[in-house]
């Protein structure tokens, strides 16, 4: 919802809100059965006091459009048409609950909405701040479009040929020898995970993943009736002792790992651990999904070569993305793997969306070819390193008595370990009520009540300091 009432309008604010909500109901955006957002949420979205929202809602209840709030949330019970022609209305609610895909957790849905509220401080966001994105370089690139030939039709099932050629050169820097025919362009690496879940794994498959992991924040494998089994992590990456041989016997077991600047712990797997892991997986016939979303964002020296670089048996599917380095909005990622696996995934991608945006693919190829991408990433590394050091000083100032954390050598995140457990839900709400959005650790490890993922990539440093002070205050209040 981008609309807000106009305080300069003669019409009272509650009346403007009432009319806006009524319009949503009459034009079918909020059909009968829709649960409307909470009063607190609406007040924040409309930038008004809660009492203004209460008045508007009560008037709509009096008109018979909304139900009273008796613990189950306020729902649309009539639209103006159904009031006129009582009896015939479409109830979408049972359909909404019927789909096979599970909804995101309520915390994730809350975060996805709240990130767009005006004035919110985003302490958890896994995205570069707008001033770290290459807006000027891209304006220049797009303004030069009229002098070049841009393909705007559908693309090859594996994606734009020129982009795949550029990517084959690009992944060489991570030690990977491949050719364009073994690369699939996807709409973000998240889509790669989805294609893998529907195309390569049977229902009931077991996904081994570091615990904690980004993967736990996604319901996509569970929606496909698969389970995630946690493997433990130390300072050098996955602990091999937690890869039990019994997994070998389970049909469709794969290992998902984020070896570089891991989300959320920021651990980077050591060279030796990579070799041992590959060897162990070869012995176990355990395929690996290597997610290298953050590998280029090193501050001092590049991480060890990718697992894929040392994979002589085609065991590793390697995922890359432009989202963390260049532009999440491009929705461009890639998979490198054995040709027949790439062909299977490409066929599925054609069924799902018929290819990633051809304009994004063109721009990505140009950015890689002209060096715009490499220059930009070099500057992001430098700026992120500086920012991480300043952010760390802020953590030391305000949180030292409450938590410990990793010193980042790349990536986006501090993984805070709280000295004492706390209710993750209460902490999230407490901070959000004061305009600070954070990612509770429980999103990445459902069992923890002692961790928070803090990103230094998004908020400005003054915002970061303000946000961290709120986190410290909230923790102290909750510990009372
Ligand atoms: C480890 C990891 N993989 C994949 C993704 C999704 O990236 P994309 O925008 O390419 O879908 C993220 C985003 O947070 C991530 O942290």
Q: In 3-state terms, what secondary structure has residue 428?
A: helix
Q: Which atom of ligand 1 is nearest to the CA of 193?
A: 4
**For 51, how many CA atoms within 13 A lie in the half-sphere containing its CB?**
1
Best of 214, 215, 317, 319 to mutate for ligand 1, by most ligand atoms within 8 A of CB? Answer: 214
β-pair partners for 403: 418
Q: Which atom of ligand 1 is nearest to the CA of 333?
A: 10
* Residue in this structure with the two tokens 């994979």, named with its chain if needed: 311
Name the CATH code of domain 135-370 (choices 3.30.70.360, 3.30.70.1450, 3.40.640.10, 3.40.50.12160).
Answer: 3.40.640.10
The whole-angstrom separation of Cα 158 and Cα 181 is 8
Assess whether the C-beta atom of 291 lies below 6 angstroms from ligand 1: yes
Mutual angle of helices 13-26 and 39-46, in 10-degree steps: 110
Counting DSSP H helices and E strands in the chain, the numbers are 17, 15
Q: How do the domains of the chain map onto residue ranges?
A: 13-99, 121-126+379-479, 135-370
CB of 237 closer than 8 Å to CB of 211:
no
The whole-angstrom separation of Cα 13 and Cα 56 is 9
Domain 13-99: assigned CATH number: 1.10.10.10
Helix (H) or strand (E) holding 232: none
Spacing, Cα 291 to ligand 1 middle (Å): 8
What is the distance, to the nearest Å, from the Cα of residue 409 to the centroid of all Cα atoms in its chain? 21
The whole-angstrom separation of Cα 474 and Cα 465 is 14
Spacing, Cα 209 to ligand 1 middle (Å): 15
Q: Which residue's C-alpha comes closest to atom 13 of ligand 1?
A: 126
Residues 6+ apart with CB under 8 A from 235: 267
Residue 35 is classified by DSSP as B
CB of 342 closer than 8 Å to CB of 156:
no
Q: Which atom of ligand 1 is nearest to the CA of 126?
A: 14
Q: Is there a common fold for 121-126+379-479 and 135-370?
A: no
Q: Which atom of ligand 1 is nearest to the CA of 294?
A: 1
Spacing, Cα 126 to ligand 1 middle (Å): 8
Q: Say how many Å lie between the first and final Cα of the chain, rounded.
A: 37
Assess whether the C-beta atom of 264 lies below 6 angstroms from ligand 1: no
Sign of dihedral through CA atoms 176, 266, 383, 127?
A: positive
Spacing, Cα 318 to ligand 1 middle (Å): 13
Each residue's pLDDT tens digit in the chain (480 positions)? 778 999 999 999 999 999 999 888 888 888 888 888 888 889 988 999 999 999 999 989 888 889 876 666 889 888 776 665 555 556 777 888 888 889 999 999 999 999 999 999 999 999 999 999 999 999 999 998 877 788 889 999 999 999 999 999 999 999 999 999 999 999 999 999 999 999 999 999 999 999 999 999 999 999 999 999 999 999 999 999 988 765 666 778 999 999 999 999 999 999 999 999 999 999 999 999 999 999 999 999 999 999 999 999 999 999 999 999 999 999 999 999 999 999 999 999 999 999 999 999 999 999 999 999 999 999 999 999 999 999 999 999 999 999 999 999 999 999 999 999 999 999 999 999 999 999 999 999 999 999 999 999 999 999 999 999 999 999 999 998
Assess whether the C-beta atom of 74 lies below 6 angstroms from ligand 1: no
Assess whether the C-beta atom of 321 lies below 6 angstroms from ligand 1: yes
The whole-angstrom separation of Cα 478 and Cα 480 is 5
CB of 450 closer than 8 Å to CB of 385:
no
| Per-position DSSP letters for 69-128, written without gaps between them | -SSS--BB---HHHHHSTT-----HHHHTTSSSPPPPHHHHHHHHHTTSTT-EESS--S-
Could you tell me the fold of the domain covering 121-126+379-479? 3.90.1150
Q: In 3-state terms, what secondary structure has residue 59?
A: helix
The whole-angstrom separation of Cα 228 and Cα 1 is 35
Instruction: Give the residue ranges of DSSP H helices in 200-263.
Output: 220-223, 246-249
Q: Which atom of ligand 1 is nearest to the CA of 258?
A: 1
């Amino acid at each position: 919802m981008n609309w807000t009432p106009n305080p300069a309008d003669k019409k009272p604010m509650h009346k403007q809100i009432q009319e806006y909500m009524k319009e949503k109901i009459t034009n079918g955006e909020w059909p009968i059965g829709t649960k409307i957002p909470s009063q607190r949420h609406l007040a924040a979205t409309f930038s008004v006091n809660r009492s203004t929202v209460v008045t508007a809602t009560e008037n709509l209840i009096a008109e018979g459009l909304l139900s009273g709030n008796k613990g189950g949330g306020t729902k649309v019970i009539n639209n103006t048409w159904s009031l006129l022609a009582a009896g015939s209305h479409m109830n979408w609610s049972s359909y909404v609950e019927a789909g096979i895909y599970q909804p995101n957790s309520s915390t994730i849905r809350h975060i996805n909405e709240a990130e767009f509220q005006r004035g919110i401080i985003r302490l958890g966001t896994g995205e570069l701040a707008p001033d770290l994105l290459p807006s000027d370089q891209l304006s220049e690139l797009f303004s030069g479009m009229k002098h070049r030939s841009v393909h705007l039709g559908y693309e090859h099932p594996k994606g734009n040929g020129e982009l795949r050629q550029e990517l084959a050169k690009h992944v060489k820097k991570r030690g990977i020898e491949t050719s364009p025919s073994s690369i699939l362009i996807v709409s973000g690496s998240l889509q790669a995970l989805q294609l893998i879940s529907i195309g390569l794994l049977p229902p009931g498959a077991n996904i081994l993943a570091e615990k904690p992991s980004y993967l736990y924040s996604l319901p996509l494998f569970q929606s496909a009736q698969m389970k995630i089994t946690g493997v433990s992590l130390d300072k050098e990456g996955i602990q091999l002792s937690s890869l039990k041989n019994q997994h070998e016997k389970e049909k469709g077991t794969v290992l998902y790992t984020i070896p570089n600047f891991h989300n959320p712990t920021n651990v980077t797997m050591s060279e030796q651990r990579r070799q041992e892991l590959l060897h162990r997986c070869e012995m176990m016939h355990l395929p690996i999904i290597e997610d290298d979303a953050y590998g280029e964002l090193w501050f001092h020296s590049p991480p060890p070569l990718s697992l894929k670089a040392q994979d002589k048996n085609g065991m590793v599917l390697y995922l890359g993305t432009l989202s963390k380095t260049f532009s999440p909005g491009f929705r461009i990622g890639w998979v490198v793997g054995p040709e027949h696996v790439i062909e299977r995934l490409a066929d599925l991608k054609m069924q799902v969306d018929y290819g990633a945006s051809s304009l994004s693919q063109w721009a990505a190829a140009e950015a890689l070819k002209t060096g715009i991408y490499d220059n930009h990433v070099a500057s992001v590394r430098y700026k992120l390193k500086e920012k991480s050091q300043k952010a760390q000083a802020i953590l030391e100032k305000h949180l030292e008595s409450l938590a410990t954390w990793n010193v980042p050598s790349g990536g986006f995140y501090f993984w805070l370990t709280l000295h004492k457990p706390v209710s993750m839900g209460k902490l999230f709400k407490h901070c959000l009520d004061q305009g600070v959005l954070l990612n509770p650790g429980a999103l990445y490890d459902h069992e923890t009540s002692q961790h928070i993922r803090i990103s230094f990539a998004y908020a400005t440093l003054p915002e970061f300091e303000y946000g961290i002070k709120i986190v410290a205050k909230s923790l102290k209040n909750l510990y009372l």
